[in-house]
């Protein structure tokens, strides 16, 4: 029977799979039994932890009062129960933290008091232990220095220690860190790029690091992902902007969300993102450093967007309970999401190793004017680039003609030396940029910062522009889009002049326009740099021709230079001349610049030497760093 079904895999009996246990559809949301009021109130700002085959929910608020009950959801029985407790429970609270260590749950801090009466409202720094085996609460007492009372903080367990980070003390957001070996508190001296002061953020522990994503930081709120190394006490931002690969953007900045670790992934769900409650589920792959949105499987019962909910992972499933939904309504719903636990796909890594090893290569590309040889595989090139596919066909036809005419000298030499037989010349490419193109063809990603960690380094930006030019030439549209996105993200005052000049000569109109737009923005927002620390150069655009001044000059000199340029072309000065690009900011930049002698116009629309200042003038003033003089 089994042999017959193997011959007809489409008719495989479902019972054969079910013998191994219950299988859940991957990436499927399922609504579980709701927690009824007689067991526990609907709530938000609570905590949820997993212990064995159960989810334990503690505290929060129901919209009227704070809670300190402990309720339990049995995964196997799929039912809610109240948990009996010995000892003195923590005072009702919300925005506290709860973590599991061995056979206990530890609850730290939070906000307590009477919400309705608006009395006795205060933050706490107390620590309670709930012992699961005997259902007993125990309050820990400490001597010596302790963290300030706080709420909306982050907590994690690592190396038999409890770690507390950031939060809100009632007056200000914090970004200090404390650890306790459950005997004595110790303040952690943090190093590296520490996240800003924040609260209402989640933390997750994976691979010896603690991860923090977004949260409430006032004007400093971002969607950056930070990691903390427990061994070195060092923070670093997980930076992926420098990588060119087809990956989704990071989730929008938010607060009141959850982040849970499972396998090699971090999962982010919910929260408030700029006055919206997104219901999508984001995933960060720790191996590939890629963010992605997980699309739920068909027939999923997807939870609505919410904030101040809680979540926990049991086995290969994530459970999400409660939270505040639309119209400030508390939820008592419990949802289950089936996580995937597949091994990571190594396809791109394997292709990259083949390229690096140069095994089985069957084509030599002679790159640049000096014909630098680069080895590759015909099949990969043909599959990824229409231009290279046509070149391969052309080279094969030429090789066939040589065989017919028995004039295969080049082919014989290559065969005797063991080199590939097919030769393709690419004189219009540069070796460094083309090697990056090959990296993308094989691995679907490139890292232009391999030699310089700064993604905005002028040399790196120019290299990416060359890759963009080649991507257009070789007809690789996805790489073209990635390069454009990289350049838009990394253009700044230190590289925009070089980028603008290169974009003009490479005829990259879209990048040239963006450079000029960037210049306008630099003037508008000042970007934190001082004009007196910079030299000023200018570029004149007349009929798409660039005139680059080797030194700084005044406004009248610019006008006169431009008048001369236009007159040389037989054009009339003044009215009727072509107007291009963004020059509205010239007067403002020159007013700040050093060593200028010019009449100050009362308005950007004042006529000077017959020229009308306008929004689309032909002049652009470019600021560059002194190192680029």
55-82 per-position pLDDT tens digit: 999 999 999 999 999 999 999 999 999 9
Mean pLDDT, residues 204-209:
96
In a domain, 202, yes or no: yes
DSSP SS3 for 135:
coil
In a domain, 14, yes or no: no
Q: Note whether 325 and 361 are same-domain residues.
A: no
Q: Note whether 182 and 297 are same-domain residues.
A: yes
Q: Note whether 476 and 525 are same-domain residues.
A: no
Q: What are the Cα distances from residue 529, in Å, to 141, 193, 314, 525? A: 51, 21, 50, 10
CB atoms under 10 Å from CB of 123, counted, come to: 23
Are β-strands 334-338 and 317-321 bridged in parallel, bridged antiparallel, or unpaired? antiparallel
Q: Spell 100-119 as b/e; 16+ CB within 10 A means b.
A: beeebbbbbbbbbbebeeee
CATH code for the domain of 443: 3.30.710.10
CATH code for the domain of 150: 2.120.10.80
In a domain, 502, yes or no: no
Q: Note whether 319 and 354 are same-domain residues.
A: no
Task: Identify the pLDDT of residue 23.
Answer: 63
Smallest CA-to-CA distance from 387 within 271, 280, 474 is with 474
Q: How far apart are CA 354 and CA 21, in angstroms?
A: 40
More confident residue, 577 or 336: 336
Q: How far apart are CA 198 and CA 38, in angstroms?
A: 36
In a domain, 11, yes or no: no
How many percent of the chain have pLDDT more than 90? 57
> pTM (2 decimals)?
0.73
In a domain, 504, yes or no: no
Q: Note whether 321 and 360 are same-domain residues.
A: no
Query: Is 523 within 8 Å of 484 (Cβ atoms)?
Result: no
In a domain, 508, yes or no: no
DSSP SS3 for 114:
strand
Q: What angle do CA 402, 403, 409 make, to 5 degrees?
A: 65
Q: Note whether 273 and 362 are same-domain residues.
A: no
Last residue of a domain, one of 338, 357, 374: 338
Q: Note whether 521 and 482 are same-domain residues.
A: no
- Number of domains present in the structure of the chain: 3
Query: Do you know the residue count of the chain?
Result: 629
DSSP SS3 for 15:
helix
Q: Note whether 329 and 408 are same-domain residues.
A: no
Last residue of a domain, one of 338, 364, 386: 338
| 338-396: pLDDT as tens digits | 998 888 888 988 999 999 999 999 999 999 999 999 999 999 999 999 999 999 999 99
Q: Note whether 482 and 527 are same-domain residues.
A: no
Q: Note whether 198 and 262 are same-domain residues.
A: yes
The range of the structural domain enclosing residue 244 comes to 24-338
DSSP E strand stretches across 159-233: 161-168, 173-180, 185-187, 191-192, 203-206, 209-213, 225-229
Q: Dihedrals φ, ψ of 84, to 5°?
A: -70, 145
Residues paired with residue 156 on neighbouring β-strands, in sequence order: 163
In a domain, 233, yes or no: yes
């Amino acid at each position: 029977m089994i042999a017959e079904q193997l011959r007809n895999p489409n008719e495989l009996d479902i019972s054969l799979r079910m013998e191994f246990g219950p299988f859940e559809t991957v990436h499927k949301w399922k609504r579980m039994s709701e927690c009824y009021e007689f067991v526990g109130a609907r709530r938000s700002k609570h905590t949820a932890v997993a212990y064995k085959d159960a989810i334990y929910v503690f505290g929060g608020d129901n919209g009227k009062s704070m809670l300190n009950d402990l309720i339990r959801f049995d995964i196997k029985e799929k039912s809610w129960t109240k948990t009996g407790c010995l000892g003195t429970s923590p005072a009702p609270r919300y925005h506290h933290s709860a973590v599991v260590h061995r056979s206990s749950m530890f609850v730290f801090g939070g906000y307590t008091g009477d919400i309705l009466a608006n009395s006795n409202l205060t933050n706490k720094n107390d620590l309670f232990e709930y012992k699961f085996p005997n259902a007993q609460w125990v309050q820990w007492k400490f001597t010596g220095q302790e963290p300030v009372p706080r709420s909306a903080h982050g907590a994690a367990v690592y190396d038999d220690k409890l770690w507390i980070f950031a939060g809100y003390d009632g007056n200000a957001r914090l970004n200090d860190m404390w650890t306790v070996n459950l005997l004595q508190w110790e303040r952690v001296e943090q190093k590296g790029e520490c996240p800003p002061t924040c609260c209402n953020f989640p933390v997750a522990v994976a691979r010896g690091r603690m991860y923090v994503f977004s949260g409430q930081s006032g004007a400093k709120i971002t969607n950056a992902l930070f990691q903390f190394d427990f061994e070195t006490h060092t923070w670093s931002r997980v930076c992926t902007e420098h990588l060119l690969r087809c990956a989704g953007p990071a989730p929008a900045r938010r607060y009141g969300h959850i982040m849970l670790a499972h396998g090699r992934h971090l999962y982010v769900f919910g929260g408030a993102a700029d006055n919206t409650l997104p219901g999508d589920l984001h995933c960060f792959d720790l191996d590939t450093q890629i963010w992605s949105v997980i699309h739920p499987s068909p027939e999923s019962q997807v939870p609505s967007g919410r904030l101040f909910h809680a979540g926990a992972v049991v086995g290969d499933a994530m459970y999400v309970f409660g939270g505040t939904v639309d119209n400030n309504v508390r939820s008592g719903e419990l949802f289950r999401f089936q996580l995937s636990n597949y091994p990571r796909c190594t396809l791109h890594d394997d292709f990259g190793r083949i390229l690096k090893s140069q095994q089985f290569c069957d084509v030599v590309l002679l790159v640049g004017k000096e014909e630098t040889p680069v080895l590759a595989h015909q099949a990969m090139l043909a599959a990824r680039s229409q231009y290279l596919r046509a070149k391969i066909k052309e080279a094969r036809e030429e090789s066939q003609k040589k065989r017919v005419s028995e004039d295969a000298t080049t082919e014989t030499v290559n065969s005797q030396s063991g080199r590939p037989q097919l030769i393709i010349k690419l004189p219009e490419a540069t070796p460094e940029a083309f090697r990056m193109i090959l990296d993308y063809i094989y691995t679907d990603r490139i890292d232009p910062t391999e030699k310089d960690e700064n993604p905005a380094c002028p040399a790196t930006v120019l290299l990416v522009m060359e890759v963009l030019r080649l991507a257009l030439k070789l007809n690789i549209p996805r790489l073209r889009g990635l390069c454009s996105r990289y350049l838009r993200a990394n253009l700044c005052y230190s590289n925009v002049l070089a980028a603008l000049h290169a974009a003009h000569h490479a005829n990259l109109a879209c990048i040239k326009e963006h450079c000029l737009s960037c210049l306008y923005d630099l003037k508008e927002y000042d970007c934190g740099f001082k004009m007196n620390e910079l030299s000023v150069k200018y570029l004149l655009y007349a009929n798409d021709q660039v005139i680059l001044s080797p030194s700084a000059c005044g406004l009248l000199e610019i006008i006169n230079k431009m008048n001369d340029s236009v007159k040389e072309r037989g054009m009339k000065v003044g009215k009727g001349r072509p107007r291009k690009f963004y020059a509205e900011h010239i007067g403002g930049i020159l007013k700040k610049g050093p060593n200028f002698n010019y009449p100050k116009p009362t308005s950007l629309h004042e006529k000077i030497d017959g020229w009308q200042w306008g929004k689309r003038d032909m002049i652009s003033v470019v600021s560059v760093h002194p190192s680029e003089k």
